Amino acid sequence: MFELKERDGLARICELKTRHGAVTTPALLPVVNPNQLTITPKEMQDEFGVDMVITNSYIIWNDERLRLRAVESGVHSLLEYDGSVMTDSGTFQDHVYGDVEVDFREIVEFQRDIGSDIGTILDVFSEPDFTEDEARAAVDETLLRARGSAQLKGDMFLAGTVQGGTYANLRERCAMELSRMNFDMHPIGGVVPLLQDYRFSDVVRVVMASKQHLPPSRPVHLFGAGHPLVFPIAVLMGCDLFDSASYAKYAREERMMFPTGTRFLSGLRDLACGCPACTSTSIEELRAADPEERVKTIARHNLHVSVQELKNVRNAIHEGSIWELVERRARAHPALLEALKALEENTEYLERFEPVSRRGAFFYCGPESYDRPAVKRYRDRFFSRYRRPATKALVGFEEGKKPYSRSYAREIAAISESVDASFIVASFFGPVPIELDEMYPIAQSVLPDTLDEDVVRRMRDVMERHAHGHGYPIAAMWDGVETLEFLKDVARRRRSIDMDMLRCRAVLDMQFGRGAANILDGKEVEFVKSRNTGKIRNVIIDGRHALSMRAYDGRFTLKIEGARLLSEALPPPRMRVVVEDEPAQFAAKGANVFAKFVSECDPDIRPGDDVIVTNTKEDIAAVGRALMNREEMLAFERGIAVRVKQAVE
């Protein structure tokens, strides 16, 4: 029912298929109140392209007239809508108005019986001010009801809501237990009061504690989140669905939503919005309109802006710039900036889902950029995977000098030339040996000349750790890509170091893990280079084409020959995706590897990695590009795990 299509870390574009069609996520489910249709579901479909709405089964159940109609002709007919319909259960009503008079089993059966595409359990709302004991009780009761509800769902998809207040341990436990049950989706509940109070860092803690313990193959729904302000960061954390009554609620207060916040109509000079609702009127007309029409226009604006921001988010996933989008949007409110900082605690987890490279550049947005998974990964891999070449490695470090200075780079280069040494440059990402300068993200980064002080200090710390670890001083210098270009020029003019060989070895180790460069030992290695750029194109080992270097990210594309050599140098499970034997035969003929057939996978494989596809007997079937990490390959029932690039047969 749920298939991964594109991704940027945990942020992902998926297809969710219900009995009423396919929905592209991340998606916003507008809340439809059957008693108060500011915008009808039909209009939502036609004007906004909304493929799924959410309505409240408790409100329907609780109103005899609505209940009878729903039971007789179904919820789709009640709403006059033929897209997908999700139903909520009354939990939120219980939170707002107190006791809801319905049995948890009855409301699930009711949702099933009225033909809801996705029903929701009647979980217990855990308030942010709950003590740990109260929150634990809410979780226990939620889990009890979840277990009972899962048996009743029939053909309906069922959503099992994660509760636990602001207690990470309770969220974790709740998520873990729910993952073992037969659910199709997991809302994260109890966050509305946090959102209302702009407690976004608490939202981050709650979502991350939950998300990490839910199966990656089930959509995550951030219950009650309907403001475009939070969409980017929520999607970054792996949320797939949102729902919103806000577009209508805000409209009734004459408040207009924007991706950077909310404004009262009265405070605006101009509508300053190009959406169809705003371009159909002027601010003067809107102010003079009759209240009902005004509310409807503002509701339409709010929904347009929300739907658009999710398209914007999907574009960012597509081009691999979700971090940039989130860091930009975080400036909309200091509480969002806090939330971004709170996310830093999860860098290790986030790194597991972070693609190894992207086509677009890495844009620096502020001190927070230093905590992106791609930066941490570069540093970690440098320290654990990079092996210093035999040539004397670097050279020079001037105490008290600011860590980036082109003139200093020139001095170092001059010394370096005379002593036959290799360079290591202090960069934003960490120490960069000159032979790694073309590998993502080094050359693909766009940085300002002057970095924030926090970042410079942290850069220095890393460099000093490195210098200390290697027992030689470091040239503390950094001036963005230009310095690298300069040093590269110097390196090119030198004969004594075989830069191609250095680069090939360094990239092999960095990309596939320490030891990968051993495949070159004692072999005859030939480099085919681009006539235009002089860059390595292909690596021929003992006469066979083993590797190709990609121009856009300076990483290797693996050929079957390369996979053979690598599989000798690196013991299983390294860089392997193990596929059941029958599907492996198809892969060996060039078919892509579907997640459902993956039986094991190297936990160090990251999305975008070039991997070796084998059968369970360790025979190589193919090489290709991983679209998922291990957790995902083992969890997903649908979708491609490895896009096969070359097959043995």
Active site positions, annotated: 88
- Class of residue 374 by CB neighbours under 10 A (exposed 0-12, middle 13-18, buried 19+): buried
- Least CB distance from residue 47 to a copy of itself, whole Å? 9
User: Among 21, 197, 311, 530, which residue interacts with a copy of itself (rule: CB under 8 A)?
Assistant: 311
Residue selected from 176, 332, 501, 648 as contacting a copy of itself according to rule CB under 8 A: 332
Binding mask 257-276 for a copy of itself (x = CB under 8 A): ---x--x---xxxxxxxxxx
Assess contact for 370 and 340: CB atoms under 8 A: no
CA dihedral 291, 296, 301, 302 (to 10 degrees): 100
Contacting a copy of itself (CB under 8 A), which of 319, 345, 380, 411? 319
- CA 288 – CA 299 distance, rounded (Å): 17
Which of 69, 255, 318, 523 binds a copy of itself (CB under 8 A)? It is 318
C-alpha 521/C-alpha 645 separation (Å) is 26
Number of residues that bind a copy of itself (CB under 8 A): 50
Task: Give the Å distances, CA to CA, from 228 to 195, 244, 326, 444, 537.
Answer: 12, 10, 12, 30, 44
Residue 292: other Cβ atoms inside 10 A:
9
Does 296 engage in binding with a copy of itself (CB under 8 A)? no
User: Cβ 201 to a copy of itself, closest distance in Å?
Assistant: 8
Whichever of 6 and 172 has its CB closer to a copy of itself, that residue is: 6
Q: Which of 21, 334, 469, 543 binds a copy of itself (CB under 8 A)?
A: 334
* Closest approach of a copy of itself to the CB of residue 419, in Å: 34
Which one of 186, 205, 314, 555 is in contact with a copy of itself (CB under 8 A)?
A: 314
Tell me if 327 contacts a copy of itself by CB under 8 A.
yes
Question: Smallest distance, Å, CB 458 to a copy of itself?
Answer: 9
Site for a copy of itself in 446-485 (CB under 8 A): 446-450, 452-454, 457
Stretch that binds a copy of itself, among 177-185, 325-333, 417-425, 632-640 (CB under 8 A): 325-333
Going by DSSP bridges, is the β-strand pair 52-56/27-32 parallel, antiparallel, or unpaired?
Answer: parallel
Candidate list 3, 6, 380, 498; residue touching a copy of itself; CB under 8 A: 6
Based on the shown chain and the rule CB under 8 A, indicate whether residue 515 belongs to the binding site for a copy of itself.
no
Q: Is 40 in the site for a copy of itself (CB under 8 A)?
A: no
Binding of a copy of itself by 443 (CB under 8 A): no
Q: What is 168-233 written as a DSSP string? A: HHHHHHHHHHHHTSS-SBEEE-S-HHHHHTT-HHHHHHHHHHHHTTS-TTS-EEETT---GGGHHH
Cα→Cα distances 579→94, 233, 583, 595, Å = 48, 35, 7, 9
Integer Cα distance of 147 and 303 in angstroms: 36
Considering only 22, 72, 197, 331, the residue that binds a copy of itself (CB under 8 A) is 331
Contacts of 565 (CB under 8 A, 6+ apart): 519, 541, 546
- Rounded CA-CA distance 165/126 in Å is 5
Which residues, including other chains, have CB under 8 Å from residue 116's CB and lie 6 or more apart?
57, 75, 85, 86, 87, 156
From residue 355 to residue 374, the character string flagging contacts with a copy of itself as x (rule: CB under 8 A) and all else as - is --------xxxxx-------
Stretch that binds a copy of itself, among 161-169, 218-226, 397-405, 441-449 (CB under 8 A): 441-449
Does position 289 interact with a copy of itself (CB under 8 A)? The reply is no
CB 347 within 8 A of CB 543: no
For residue 116, which of 161, 162, 61 has the smallest C-alpha distance?
Answer: 61
Binding mask 225-264 for a copy of itself (x = CB under 8 A): -----------------------------------x--x-
Distance CA 421, CA 72 (A): 82
Q: Are 138 and 40 in contact (CB under 8 A)?
A: no
Per CB under 8 A, 328 contacts a copy of itself: yes
Of 226, 219, 223, the residue nearest 250 (C-alpha): 226
Count of CB atoms within 10 A of residue 352's CB? 20
List residues near a copy of itself by CB under 8 A.
6, 13, 260, 263, 267-276, 279, 304-305, 308, 311-312, 314-315, 317-319, 324, 327-328, 331-335, 337-338, 341, 363-367, 446-450, 452-454, 457
